[in-house]
Every structure is written in C-alpha cells, then in structure tokens.
Structure 1
Amino acid sequence: MAKNFPISPKHPERICWGCDRYCAANALACGNGSDRTMHPAEMLGDDWYLHGDWGIEPPSASDKAVDEGRS
C-alpha cells in the first residue's frame, strides 16, 4: 500500500519524492538517480494539486484550519 502523498510538507527540500520511501536528500536508497526528485510544490507552487489530474482530493476548508492550528 502506498503512503499518502503530502500536499504541503514543511521542508520538501530535505526529501526525495521519487518513490514511496521518501529518503533523505543526502541518502538516496532507491537508486532513483544522482539527484533527488523535487516535490510538485517546489516546481509548481503551493496550489499544485488544483491543476491537472493528480488523483488527489483537495483539502477542505476545515482541514486547512486544523493544519494551520498545528503550525
């Protein structure tokens, strides 16, 4: 079973997003290449999941309020 893909992680630059292992950027275990795969938010902006067919349900307003309270 695949892990849920985070919509907006706190520090996406620290992780390789190329597979379900989510390795640290300096310890690529899957052999995905010589560099890490960037999170879509790093390339497309914070609203990346609203455009295209990602197969991800946008978070509801109540989910955003809960997430903002955790910061």
Structure 2
Amino acid sequence: MAKRFPLHPRHPERNCWGCDHYCGAEALRCGNGSSRTQHPAELLGEDWYAFGDWGLDIVDEATSIKPAVATTR
C-alpha cells in the first residue's frame, strides 16, 4: 500500500521522494546512496501538479493525494 503524497510539504529538502519510504535526506534506505530525489515542488514550483499530465485526481483544497493503484495484466 503506497503512502499519500503531499502536494506542498513544509520542508521538502529534508526527505527523499524517490520511493514510498520518504527517508530522511541523510538516511536513504532504498540503496541509491548517491543523493535524494527532489519533490516536484522543488523542481517546478508550488503549482507543479497543475501543468503536465501527471494523471492525478486532485480535489480543491487537498493537501495530499492517494497514489493510483497499479494494475497488472
């Protein structure tokens, strides 16, 4: 089960956003080891989800989104 993904985290620089662990920037568990993955808000700005085809269903005034369930064929 995937964790909810925050749209506007207070301190996105403190976490790695590359997987569902959301590890601290200094304690990466996923084995990457090189550097953390930035939150889209850090790269694209506060309205990151309004542009592009993210495939997200965002309700007005939402603070986070529930990830879509992956289907297998």
Q: Same fold (TM over 0.5)?
A: yes
The residue aligned with 1:38 is 38
Cα deviations across residues 1-58 of structure 1 (Å, max 9, x unaligned)? 1111110000000000000000000000101240000000000000000111222223
The residue aligned with 2:4 is 4
- Give the letter for the 1:51 counterpart: F
Sequence identity percentage: 63
More strand, by proportion: 2
- Give the letter for the 2:12 counterpart: P
The count of aligned residue pairs is 63
Unaligned runs of at least 5 residues, structure 2: 64-73
- Give the letter for the 1:52 counterpart: G
| Alpha-carbon distance between aligned partners in 2 of 1:32 and 1:11, rounded to the nearest angstrom | 21
Q: Per the alignment, in what secondary structure is the counterpart of residue 30 of structure 1? A: coil
Q: Per the alignment, in what secondary structure is the counterpart of residue 43 of structure 1? A: helix
The residue aligned with 2:28 is 28
More helix, by proportion: 1
| Alpha-carbon distance between aligned partners in 2 of 1:32 and 1:19, rounded to the nearest angstrom | 11
